[in-house]
Amino acid sequence: MIFPDKSLATRLESNLAQDMLEYVQAFNVLFPDYPATVQKIGGGIAICTGSQFINSAIGLGLNTTISTSDLDALEAYFRDNQVDSEIEICPFTDAQFLSSLNERNYHLTSFTTAYIHALDTIQPPPNINPDIVVEPITDNQKELWMQTVCDISPDDQTTDTRLAQAVTHRAHTTCFLAQLDGESIGASALSIRDGVATFYFTATRKAYRQRGVQTAMLQARLAYAQAQDCELAFATTIPGNHSMRNVMRAGFHVAYVRCTMVKTF
């Protein structure tokens, strides 16, 4: 059993921050005419990738005290990018930081639960469908992965898939495709850094849900992370949804609960 503390939370949140940074880097390569920026603030980072995508700060207040000037700079950054100031916070952050946010009229908008899985042992559930094949994608499967995670057809010209495309080009990230009888039915991803495998983008096509696809993708990524000598797997979910139940069945346990604080300009 791994007991969560500030050291572990800092390690996990730092990985999330680095993944967000690599989103921006991928956006800038793939879509050079599209605004995507990053700013380091208060021991963490803030990123903006446009109004429809990720605009958030993460990792603030874990390794340092957040100053008034830090918050001024953070709010100026989001205001300049014409989005709300959004900050993802874990319970090990500096207590004064939370007081400062209250004084600045931030409000709580949502929770996410952080889960960890020690990779010294993996116990696969007995009911995995052996016909579901989950493997890392090849370069020529990137477009198929994007279509699968967005659950769109190849001729769909209306769905904005830039975020999914960026995942397939992001550093330290491996994407996985789930297939059944040659049909693409699910997509997922993980990043690896500092002995931690962070799980992302677990998506199943609507026609194949409730058939164990997410469980198969979780098990495949756990085995992959273990083979890469990772110590931990890390995942976040919305409390109470299907993903929460699936990660817990796969052997993850709760590390802490995160919250999102927002200030609207």
Same domain, yes or no, for 65 and 146?
Answer: no
> Is position 1 within any domain?
no
How sure is the predictor about 189, in pLDDT bands with cuts at 50, 70 and 90?
Answer: very high
Taking all residues of the chain, what is their mean pLDDT, rounded to a whole number?
93
For the cut 70, the answer to whether the pLDDT of residue 126 exceeds it is no
Q: Write out pLDDT tens, residues 65-89.
A: 899 999 999 999 999 999 999 999 9
**100 phi, psi to nearest 5 deg:** -65, -40
Same domain, yes or no, for 147 and 229?
Answer: yes
Name 16's Cβ contacts closer than 8 Å, sequence gap at least 6.
58, 59, 88, 198
Q: How many CB atoms lie within 10 A of CB 254?
A: 14
How sure is the predictor about 3, in pLDDT bands with cuts at 50, 70 and 90?
Answer: confident
Query: Looking at residue 71, which CATH number applies to its domain?
Result: 3.40.630
pLDDT reported for residue 51: 64
The token pair that represents 20 in the structure block:
């967000």
Give the total number of structural domains in the chain: 2
Across the chain, the runs of DSSP E, i.e. the strands, are: 37-41, 44-48, 55-58, 85-89, 107-118, 132-136, 173-180, 183-193, 196-204, 232-237, 253-263
Same domain, yes or no, for 79 and 148?
Answer: no
Same domain, yes or no, for 74 and 181?
Answer: no
- Predicted TM-score (pTM) above 0.85: yes
Query: Looking at residue 126, which CATH number applies to its domain?
Result: 3.40.630.30
Same domain, yes or no, for 93 and 157?
Answer: no
Same domain, yes or no, for 163 and 187?
Answer: yes
Same domain, yes or no, for 104 and 125?
Answer: no
**Arithmetic mean of pLDDT, 123-148:** 90
Range of the domain at 231: 118-256
pLDDT reported for residue 123: 80
